[in-house]
Amino acid sequence: MKNSRFSAAAIAMIGLMGATSSSNMRVSYNAVAPASPEARVEVTNTDIAASNKKITMAHSALADMWRQYFREEGSRFAVPGLVRYRIAAGSSCGLMRRNNAGYCPADNTIYFDEVFLASQAKVAGRELGTDGDMAAVGIIAHEMGHAVSIQLGYRSRSIYAMEATADCLAGAFTAHAEKDGSLENGDIEEAFFGMAAAGDPEPELTGDERLDRRILRNASLMGHGTREQRTENFKRGLDGGANACFAQSRS
């Protein structure tokens, strides 16, 4: 993402499981599956500082976008706080672990492992020949998507449905940023790369047809989605905007 578009606003500011009802606000919504391995790249303090700067600017841009969206809906968006950590951090939803990011509804805060996000950007940059920043920004946009959907009252018993909506809303943010000229060449490819990299691993099957059907059904309801599902959900928001992410719920 371009520095110039967001820098002034940035200076002014800085899922394990999905909750199924408003009474369950102490469950965090995480960006990637807990089993996802850490990217094998060397990350320096300079890399982390650069990543944090982009994330801060993206948080500001996300806040502006969703405030406007809520105003148009006749409501008010409570912008989540942003807390970075290394290794682990305590939250009102419990322990936020390394190699992840999560939104905690109980304290309306997005937590992220700054080393992990910097590594995601570096991996994307290495693979695509870019700076890779949107791979990390996309994770924050996904977590902000959880805040948006929850505050708009969209809930589901299916964890996957909540994660799919957050991926879609991350795509809507990317479309918004592209429209206002905030994206750099390669940013959309980086975002897709990050979504694909965060897909759930294929479930291990047993060979028993009945048991395997149950395993696949549970995986479809309880996970973040395969790489294909995550990129498809992201593309839905990229192509159709935020309203496309809620079309099924509103019908």
- Long-range CB contacts for residues 32-36, cutoff 8 Å, separation at least 24: 32/99, 32/100, 32/101, 32/139, 32/198, 32/224, 33/198, 33/200, 33/201, 33/223, 33/224, 34/97, 34/100, 35/201, 36/99, 36/100, 36/198
Beta strands in the chain (DSSP E): 29-30, 81-85, 88-91, 94-97, 101-104, 109-113
* Residue 141 and residue 166 in contact, taking contact as beta carbons nearer than 8 Å: no
What predicted TM-score, i.e. pTM, was given to this entire model?
Answer: 0.80
Strand pairing report for 101-104 and 109-113:
antiparallel
Tens of pLDDT along the chain (251 residues) come to 765 333 322 222 223 223 333 334 554 566 554 434 444 788 999 999 999 999 999 999 999 999 999 999 999 999 999 999 998 999 999 999 889 899 999 999 999 999 999 999 999 999 999 999 999 999 999 999 999 999 999 888 888 899 999 999 999 999 999 999 999 999 999 999 999 887 666 666 677 777 767 755 665 555 677 888 899 999 999 999 999 998 755 54
CA atoms within 13 A on the CB side of 3: 6
